[in-house]
């Protein structure tokens, strides 16, 4: 089934590419990591991703919209997630919405750096495991470096703080978490890229008695992405990857679908 899904996505991309009229390099379209490129002036991006974990049958969907304010120096965005967890609720619902600000600190030659600050809203139902039940803050620092005309690497490190994170029974405690990762992108062509990501997290998890334990995850994520560009300025980027758990996440694996629409707005 996964192979059929991949073949279908590839066929769609190739069909769309037949209508493309302009060439534009793929940027800011990683899956588990952030690339350090803000939206340029007059261009908005709509990003969707869907990840399904094979053994647990959990899934997560997210929609992100990114806007330049008013140009690529400053960017505002928001992310709305939907999740389904077999444990503890076996129910689907909205997760915690995240509001983001990103500053393009460096965009020179082959290096880009764009620190992000985010505000987390407790919109997910913590009783079903869909959210934390707490307002929170998050930071992430993405660094992108073009090694050559064919290879680009991306690096992320970040942290999350939730002062009143709740477990499904209602016990709460302040929690901290950290994320890190790196990727290598091969620009086979401007419209077709091979990708290899590695991403991990370390986070506090509140227990029923109010105590905390540390949980760690680590995944490698090989995938591909392809772009279709149009004379109107529209760029469509579908992608597919296979997240595979390593270390404490060993035995976990899934399938991730990505789809982005980027186009000009206004005059």
Give per-residue pLDDT as tens, 58-97: 999 999 999 999 999 999 999 999 999 988 778 899 999 9
User: What is the structure's pLDDT at 210?
Assistant: 96
Nearest alpha carbon to residue 199 among 132, 152, 138, 244: 244
Query: Where are any strands of DSSP class E within the chain?
Result: 43-53, 59-68, 74-85, 91-94, 98-103, 106-108, 111-113, 116-120, 136-146, 151-166, 172-189, 192-206, 212-226, 228-229, 235-241, 244-245, 254-264
User: What is the structure's pLDDT at 3?
Assistant: 40
In whole angstroms, what is the distance from residue 50 CA to residue 65 CA? 15
In whole angstroms, what is the distance from residue 202 CA to residue 218 CA? 9
User: What is the structure's pLDDT at 24?
Assistant: 81
User: What is the structure's pLDDT at 31?
Assistant: 98
Q: What's CA 125's distance to the chain center, in Å?
A: 21
* Residue 48 tokens, joined: 């969707």
Domain holding 157: CATH number? 2.40.160.40
User: What is the structure's pLDDT at 4?
Assistant: 41
Low-confidence spans in the chain with pLDDT less than 50: 1-21
215 contacts 205 by C-beta, under 8 angstroms:
yes
In whole angstroms, what is the distance from residue 170 CA to residue 13 CA? 46
* Residue 181 tokens, joined: 């990762």
User: What is the structure's pLDDT at 23?
Assistant: 63
What is the per-residue pLDDT across 153-179, written as a single tens digit (0 to 9) for each?
A: 999 999 999 999 999 999 999 999 999
Q: Which domain range does residue 96 map to?
A: 2-264
Please provide the DSSP assignment of 193-234 as one string: EEEEEEEEEEEEEE-TTS-EEEEEEEEEEEEEEE-EE-TTS-
User: What is the structure's pLDDT at 88?
Assistant: 79
Looking at the 3D structure of the chain, how many domains does it have? 1
């Amino acid at each position: 089934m996964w192979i059929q899904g991949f073949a279908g996505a590839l066929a769609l991309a190739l069909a769309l590419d037949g209508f493309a009229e302009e060439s534009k390099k793929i940027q800011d379209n990683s899956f588990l990591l952030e690339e350090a490129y803000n939206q340029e002036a007059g261009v908005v991006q709509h990003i969707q991703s869907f990840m399904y974990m094979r053994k647990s049958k959990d899934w997560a969907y997210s929609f992100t919209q990114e806007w330049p304010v008013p140009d690529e120096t400053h960017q505002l965005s928001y992310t709305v997630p939907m999740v389904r967890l077999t444990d503890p609720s076996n129910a689907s619902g909205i997760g915690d919405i995240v509001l983001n600000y990103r500053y393009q600190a460096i965009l020179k030659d082959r290096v880009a750096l764009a620190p992000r600050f985010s505000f987390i809203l407790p919109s997910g139902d913590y009783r079903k495991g869909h959210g934390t039940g707490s307002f929170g803050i998050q930071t992430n620092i993405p660094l992108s470096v073009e090694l050559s005309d064919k290879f680009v690497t991306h690096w992320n490190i970040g942290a999350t703080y939730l002062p009143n994170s709740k477990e499904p029974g209602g016990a709460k405690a302040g929690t901290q978490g950290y994320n890190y990762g790196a990727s290598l992108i091969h620009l086979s062509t401007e419209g077709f890229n091979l990708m290899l990501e590695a991403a991990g997290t370390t986070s506090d998890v509140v227990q029923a008695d109010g105590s905390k334990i540390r949980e760690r995850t680590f995944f490698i994520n090989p995938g591909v992405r392809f772009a279709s560009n149009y004379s109107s300025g529209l760029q469509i980027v579908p992608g597919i990857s296979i997240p595979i758990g390593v270390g404490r996440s060993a035995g976990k694996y899934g399938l991730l679908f990505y789809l982005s629409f980027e186009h000009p707005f206004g005059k």
